[in-house]
Structure 1
Amino acid sequence: MTDHPLVSTQWLADHLSSPDLVVINAWMPPVTHPDAPPVYPNAHVPGAIFFDVNEICDTSSELPHMLPAPHVFSSAMRKLGIGDGQTLVVYDDFGFYSAPRVWWTLRSMGAERVYVLDGGFPKWRAEGRPFVDDDTRRVQSHFSARLNNGAVADLGDIKTAIATGNRQILDARSAERFSGEAPEPRAGLRKGHMPTALNLPFTQLIRENGTFLSRDELKEVFEKAGVDLSRPVTTTCGSGVTAAILTLALTILGARDLALYDGSWAEWGSRDDTDIVAAGT
């Protein structure tokens, strides 16, 4: 394995029987289709386990799918059969949606060998690769969660970044939501973006066939968005999911000082003590 966080469908097919490999089907329904069912019960990569982002989270928070406490996460991973030292490959039903969030979560909790399947299940299935409909159960394993606090930004960190300019804020939402010209899919949120924030819709990082852009292509896209890859970056989005796609791309590009705003717009846009920039203001 290399430091590159993506693996190909061919690599996964070649290593599917490796004893230290755990395949994870990340699941979260799109906010625009909250009742969408997961593909997992009917079709998944052989041996894959099911990771529900809306279940393995801080269930006491009013904000959606916030990171759980490390001991809670350790318990959830143990029950799934995810343990220390394993090689973890995460994919999702859409290609690139919730898999990078689970990749970021595992890395933030101390897992070192975590990768995302390039193209996800759509590519795997389109290539005629095997899939099953059983409910995979793994033997419980010991997972030692060690939260990297620097990987997670909170409301205060964003306010500091805006006030001091010590970090770039990069928003993964669409240009229309960023400008405030399109409504937010979650009720009760103001429209617009954080002061000083840059916009790079996550869809610009993915090819039409569902795979990620190359390093050179990613570099060009980030530079066009005004991002200085030598400076710290905090990613954000609607609720901390697609922000992880930007974090994944920045990791591919070798950026080091990265954080993700876990509350994202679900928190910032719901408060009356946060500044917002919107079209016409």
Structure 2
Amino acid sequence: MPYWEKANHSWTKDSTRYILTPSQKTRDLFYYIQEIGHFKAEQPYYTERENLPSFLMKFTLSGQGLLRYHGKDYVLRAGDVFFIDCDHYQHYQTISDCPWEMVWVHFSGSKTARLFQEYFRDKSPVFHTKSAPHDNTINLILERLLNLQTAPNAKTDYQNSILLHELLNELILQKYQLDFTDEEIPPYVIDLKNYLDEHFKSTLTLETLSHHFHLNKYQLNKEFSKYIGAPPIDYLISKKMSHAKDLLRYSKKSIKEIAIDIGIENAAYFSRLFKKKTGLTASDYRKIG
């Protein structure tokens, strides 16, 4: 389907916009900016389009906007972020009497599409940030990106790429509330992690862990995943596989002996699990060591 767009460009004179044309090298190597700006958009500002090969992130600083995406409407207020794949139909507009003030960037490249899938796994393009909009890390990254475009030089594409990658990570961290401090991790999650680190050679199940820590297994699974990055049993298996790698490379133990050493009695099951987790058979991994 061909690209099409309808729009009304009612932004104020003090709004800022940069349109970039990245080189083929930049497109091949980096995350890269296509357009970036800081708008104060008055009614009847709107954009409606489809089939644009670009990803768009907007962060509302003040005023209100409305986004229509994947058949749903989202009212955008101060502190709200939306991140969308512009290949799909979208319509956004100012709906407040005062200007809708937002910082935004069109970009693509590198792993943008894959990171967008991770961002969009809950099927919502919008989330609300917790900190004051102007002080939020997302806004601060966008300000740095905007500043870089005022006097570009030979290193600007590299700097843009680093900041865009940081921006993508920050979007996911804040949306899924992963921007926690170490002090906010519940003590029982730390205790469970330490227990798994010490007993990874044992055969453990979620039920036995739940009984040992006197916690509901669903809560245990959810909280451990949130703060550690994987469910307890997946974390345990990764620990087993990491130790197996060490033994494959730096010991002369047989594959069967290694399986038993990490608490897996069935060598065939160990071999299947190792290939699933690493992409290599245990024998092939030993050869590349």
Q: TM-score, normalised by structure 2?
A: 0.18
**Which has the bigger relative contact order, CA under 8 A and spacing at least 6?**
1
Q: Which of structures 1 and 2 has the bigger CA Rg?
A: 2
Which structure has more helix as a fraction of its residues?
A: 2
Which structure has more strand as a fraction of its residues?
A: 2
Q: TM-score, normalised by structure 1?
A: 0.19
